Chain A
Amino acid sequence: QKEVEQNSGPLSVPEGAIASLNCTYSDRGSQSFFWYRQYSGKSPELIMFIYSNGDKEDGRFTAQLNKASQYVSLLIRDSQPSDSATYLCAVPISGGYNKLIFGAGTRLAVHP
């Protein structure tokens, strides 16, 4: 059974701080990794994806991938109260269809 693990939190950070969200996965063959943000009562929204080892930056968000350690993380710089949400790590299962396996999600709370 392929698994994606996340700390469910809540992760509480002060406004302006860096929030660090972590995810590990079991399938060494996984090639792509996605971070979705989900506000309470809403649907998941894709915010970052990464395919290659190293860092990928988009605005205040940085995704980091280490395939040797089977570890992917999301950093949110200058955290804002509007970043308070559940962040879902997702990994596609190979086989020709983009079947996503999600981690349990980490709930982030940014307090003023």
Chain B
Amino acid sequence: GDSVTQMEGPVTLSEEAFLTINCTYTATGYPSLFWYVQYPGEGLQLLLKATKADDKGSNKGFEATYRKETTSFHLEKGSVQVSDSAVYFCAPGGSQGNLIFGKGTKLSVKP
């Protein structure tokens, strides 16, 4: 069945450090791929998405590229800020219409 494996956290970085959160998935066909972010005390909101192979999604300085050959969608940011502290979820679109969520990666950015 459809599944996703996401880098376990928590991840603690200093401000302006480089961030990578790994995500690989197993899915039938060619799903769209999503990254969601959950700030403390809030619901999930879409961070970025990619709908086909080699697409790059980007938003707020975050990027992720749809790698069909490696079934991966790693999240990157060149210089993190304290305000990026949150939980990040990788989520491919499942074959049943749902989104398959990873367990989430908690990021803490220290000043």
Q: Are A and B interaction partners? A: no
Interface residues of A, Cβ cutoff 8 Å to B: none
Interface residues of B, Cβ cutoff 8 Å to A: none
